[in-house]
Amino acid sequence: MKRRKTIFRILLTLMFTPFFLTSCIDDPEPPILDVLPDVFIQKVVEDGEEKYALAFWIFGNKELESVTIEGPEGGSWELESEVINPQIFSLFPGDEDYMPEFPVAGVYEFTVTSTQEGEAPMKADDELEDEELAAMAIDSLKFESSQVKVYWETVTGADNYRVRLYDEAGEIIFLSGQLADNKTDYAFSITDDGWIESGSIPETGDNCRLELLAILYETGAGVDKDYNIQCISIASEDIVWE
């Protein structure tokens, strides 16, 4: 399955409504373009080897037309619009994008253009630190009493965890809430909150993929920490729904 998922679907429960991006909604004059950018690392283990890839997203206070990024050592990227919300652009890695080398730390500069006619592009930046989490690992995963139960050991430095489930087509169908940094197990069933929509609940015999995420925020991230991710360490396991 591909990991190329938008931030909107991956972190569906986050509220993309900080005050400074919404306070001008009743103003008769068009608001000046303002954005929240983020660059962070996604880390996986493939065939026993730790691999890394960059992920980007940005949220604007109005519809965006285009977003490009220049990296600290000459790399460049072009983000894609989130169909559900044109204020969000993102770029997430596919399987082929993960490499053994740690991504280049430093300042990543976003050039952002809105759909407002005549408005000049703006620049914003976000710094990628050189901090990372250890590899996330699933200790065990089983069906019991009509629930999926997943167990793990805590990852040093992780701020919280999440569990998500994909169907055979690679579409996310379940996302847990944030789990505390000392949590080591999680269970859910078809009657729990977190399902993306009722029609996506799997049936017996369906192939699914469960992912366990450990999340690290940027140094000094405050109340807006969900917009300032530094690293997501991901473990996954294929399951047959029971």
The arrangement of strands across the sheet holding 207-217 comes to: 80-82, 85-91, 49-60, 35-46, 229-240, 207-217, 160-166, 172-175
Higher pLDDT, 2 or 218: 218
- pLDDT score at 13: 40
Which pLDDT belongs to residue 27? Answer: 56
Q: Where are the beta strands (DSSP E) in 122-228?
A: 122-128, 138-144, 147-152, 160-166, 172-175, 185-188, 207-217
Residues β-bridged to residue 217:
229
Q: Which long-range contacts (CB under 8 A, 24 or more apart) does 118-123 make?
A: 119/30, 119/33, 122/33, 122/35
What's the pLDDT band for 48 if we cut at 50, 70, 90? very high
pLDDT of residue 9: 47
| Under 8 Å between Cβ of 166 and 222 | no
When comparing pLDDT for 83 and 168, which is higher? 168
State the average pLDDT for the chain. 88
pLDDT in tens, 213-229: 999 999 988 777 878 99
Percent pLDDT > 70 in the chain is 88
Q: What is the pLDDT of residues 79-138, one digit of tens each?
A: 999 877 899 999 999 989 999 999 999 999 999 999 999 999 999 999 999 999 999 999
Angstrom distances, CA of residue 216 to CA of 25, 158, 176, 229: 32, 5, 17, 6
Residue predicted with more confidence, 175 or 17: 175
φ, ψ at 36 (rounded to 5°): -120, 105
Count helices and strands (H / E) in the chain. 2, 15
